[in-house]
């Protein structure tokens, strides 16, 4: 555990806070759909509608919530978001049908996004610019380990399968939010940024940053490959056993925990971050080509190709993530980190709303050719990143804003 934590100080406390929160998240991600259908007796259609509406509400509220973190102070927004999440999660124990469930999960989404945007603003305010990517890498590695523990706890709940076990899990998730909120009180305060004479939501006029957010959002859709596409690909297009998709997810988690910190080394300015994004996209593109070779392969060749592709994908994931963090922070002005980080998160949200349908249509409908098309798309997105970042740097220089250079 010590190897996952930064040295004592604000970075370590931030990491511990995220680990506590993601312990509950790992548990809830594995149980939420089953809880809604099994305990609350929602139909699969009602569950799908709830998730889609909540996602749309969160998307629309992202930038205003980030602006709130800038103006009210990120620590204050974080504390209140976690306390509200505690209450809302407990509220799930009293939900009995569709409409209350929709209200609760929508409110949860808003509170969670507020806390996430505030946390990024806290990192910008507490961590020197040269260290932010390294700290985020440590946080990601630690949170992946914590999510895995939460998923194991979910397995125990599913093994018991009783209503009481599910409700105890909901209570456990609420407690993790409460502890997270109380730990946040111990964080140093980042002062709120007073309103300036310019537009309140200046990020909406920052074309280079909006372009980066859109490109990066499309790049991060590579996570959909493991969650949605590969399990179906393994089942329908290869001779590999069904459990291979679970083995790929486990391999991905282990590799992210093991190498994310190393993958972030050298990403200490926007230009280096853009190169890291390009390199990560190249690895993901290579993974897509390797997955394509597993089409109709027998058991052993299919398993080998899927494992090699999974390793390439994980290396691309950690390198692209490091580049994404560096660009997102360094192209954002210090007085508006909350709204800029929220905009960055919106890009990922929009990409993940589009990707499942498009990717499954490409890969399951067109086989190896679909994988090749995805490889070309990821490579093109990565290639576009350095010129977009260069344009953003020129824009910041023209407006007199200083860009961190590590």
Does the pLDDT of residue 276 top 80, yes or no? yes
Q: How confident is the model at residue 400 (pLDDT cuts 50, 70, 90)?
A: low
Q: Is the pLDDT of residue 378 over 90?
A: yes
Positive/negative CA dihedral, 270, 276, 279, 280: negative
Q: Compute how many other C-beta atoms are within 10 angstroms of the C-beta atom of residue 114.
A: 29
24 CB-contact burial (10 Å; exposed 0-12 / middle 13-18 / buried 19+): buried
Q: Tell me: the pLDDT tens digits for 8-43?
A: 888 899 999 999 999 999 899 878 888 998 899 988
Q: How far is CA 263 from CA 86, 140, 280, 382, in A?
A: 34, 12, 10, 17
What's the CA gap between 231 and 357, in Å, rounded?
Answer: 14
The span from the CA of 288 to the CA of 374, in Å, is 7
d(CA 109, CA 34): 18
The token pair at 356 is 């499942």
The predicted pLDDT at position 79 comes to 95
What is the distance between the alpha carbons of residues 282 and 226, in angstroms, rounded to a whole number? 17
In the predicted structure, residue 403 carries a pLDDT above the cut 60: no
pLDDT tens for residues 111-159? 999 998 899 888 888 888 888 888 888 888 888 889 889 888 988 998 8
Report the Cα 150 to chain-centroid distance in Å. 17
Q: Which two tokens stand for residue 388?
A: 């977009």
- The reported pLDDT for the residue numbered 401 is 59
Supply the pLDDT for residue 198: 56
Least confident of 269-278, 316-325, 356-365, 383-392: 356-365
Binned at pLDDT 50, 70 and 90, residue 307 comes out as very high
Query: How confident is the model at residue 196, as a pLDDT?
Result: 62
Q: Of 372, 374, 363, 369, whose CA–CA distance to 236 is shortest? A: 363
Q: What is the mean pLDDT of residues 245-255?
A: 85
pLDDT digits (tens, 9 = 90+) for 308-343: 999 999 999 999 999 999 999 889 888 888 888 889
Q: Is the dihedral of CA 252, 258, 260, 262 positive or negative?
A: negative
Q: How does residue 101 score in pLDDT terms, banded at 50, 70 and 90?
A: very high
Is 345 within 8 Å of 62 (Cβ atoms)? yes
Nearest to 154 by CA among 314, 22, 16, 5: 22
Quickly count: other Cβ atoms within 10 Å of residue 162's Cβ: 10
Tell me the per-residue pLDDT of 62-83, one tens digit each, with 9 for 90 and over.
888 988 888 888 999 999 999 9
Return the closest-CA partner of residue 274 out of 131, 66, 133. Answer: 133
Residue that has been written with the tokens 């499954």 in this structure: 360
Express each pLDDT in 202-244 by its tens digit.
788 899 999 999 999 999 999 888 877 888 898 889 998 888 8
Distance CA(383)–CA(247), nearest Å, equals: 31
């Amino acid at each position: 555990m010590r190897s996952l934590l930064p040295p004592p100080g604000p970075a370590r406390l931030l990491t511990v806070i995220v680990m506590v929160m993601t312990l509950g998240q790992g548990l809830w991600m594995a149980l939420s759909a089953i809880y809604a259908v099994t305990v609350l007796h929602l139909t699969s259609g009602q569950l799908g509608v709830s998730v889609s509406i909540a996602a749309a509400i969160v998307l629309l509220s992202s930038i205003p919530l980030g602006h709130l973190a800038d103006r009210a102070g990120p620590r204050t927004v974080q504390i209140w978001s976690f306390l509200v999440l505690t209450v809302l999660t407990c509220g799930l124990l009293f939900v009995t049908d569709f409409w209350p469930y929709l209200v609760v999960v929508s409110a949860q989404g808003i509170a969670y996004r507020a806390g996430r945007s505030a946390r990024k603003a806290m990192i910008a305010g507490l961590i020197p610019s040269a260290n932010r990517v390294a700290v985020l890498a440590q946080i990601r590695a630690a949170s992946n380990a914590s999510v895995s523990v939460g998923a194991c706890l979910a397995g125990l709940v599913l093994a018991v399968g009783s209503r009481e076990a599910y409700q105890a899990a909901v209570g456990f998730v609420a407690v993790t939010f409460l502890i997270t909120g109380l730990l946040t009180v111990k964080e140093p305060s980042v002062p709120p940024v007073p309103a300036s004479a310019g537009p309140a939501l200046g990020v909406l006029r920052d074309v280079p940053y909006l372009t980066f957010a859109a490109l990066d959002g499309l790049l991060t859709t590579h996570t959909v490959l493991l969650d949605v596409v590969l399990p179906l690909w393994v089942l329908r297009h290869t001779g590999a056993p069904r459990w291979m998709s679970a083995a790929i997810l486990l391999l991905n988690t282990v590799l992210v925990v093991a190498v994310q910190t190393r993958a972030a080394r050298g990403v200490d300015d926007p230009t280096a971050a853009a190169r890291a994004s390009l390199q990560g996209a190249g690895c993901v593109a290579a993974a897509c080509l390797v997955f394509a070779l597993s089409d109709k392969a027998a058991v052993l060749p299919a398993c080998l190709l899927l494992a090699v592709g999974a390793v390439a994908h994980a290396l691309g994931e950690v390198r692209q993530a490091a580049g994404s963090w560096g660009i997102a922070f360094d192209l954002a002005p210090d007085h508006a980190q909350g709204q800029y980080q929220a905009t960055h998160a919106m890009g990922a949200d929009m990409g993940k709303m589009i990707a499942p349908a498009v990717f499954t249509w490409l890969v399951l409908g067109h086989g190896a050719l679909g994988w090749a098309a995805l490889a070309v798309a990821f490579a093109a997105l990565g290639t576009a990143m350095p010129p977009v970042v260069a344009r953003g740097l020129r824009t910041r220089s023209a407006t007199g804003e200083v860009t961190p250079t590590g």
